[in-house]
Structure 1
């Protein structure tokens, strides 16, 4: 399982950085980000986002916050994942 580095938040302090990779074999996007603060976690844990779907985050999943400065890296990661999976479409096909 090789990871292709896409980018990291250049404005993140203390050497810790939200980071984006694309996994070569599965074409999955892998994201490192900040954990939600208690207020945001409570909001996530008590809101029914999809009718009939359980509230909260299942134990096998996690939530991270991604700063707005990471948007270009997320776009690049999406494009790389689509190419890796053979799904890349031109802008005219979208």
Structure 2
């Protein structure tokens, strides 16, 4: 799993942590931002390393497939909706279509 120039797959979210260090994350197809959820997985971190003065880092995990965890999907799409609404309202106020007073 990796991205090249922002295109690829990544894990987002960290829910339901357990004592063994595992947590639930959702795998997304990304084009700079996460677009399509591909599934949720329980991750057990096994190690990480950093190379090139911190410019590149990698992590290894053991993973186990779970059902799609809808709260992760809702949070990402909710953020997109909030950003879109903010942009619409800012545009309307800036163009003078909405006047308050």
What TM-score bracket applies, with the shorter chain setting the length?
0.3 to 0.5
TM-score (norm. length: structure 2): 0.32
User: Which structure has more helix as a fraction of its residues?
Assistant: 1
Larger Rg: 2
> By percentage of residues, which structure has more strand?
2
Give the alignment's TM-score, normalised by structure 1. 0.33
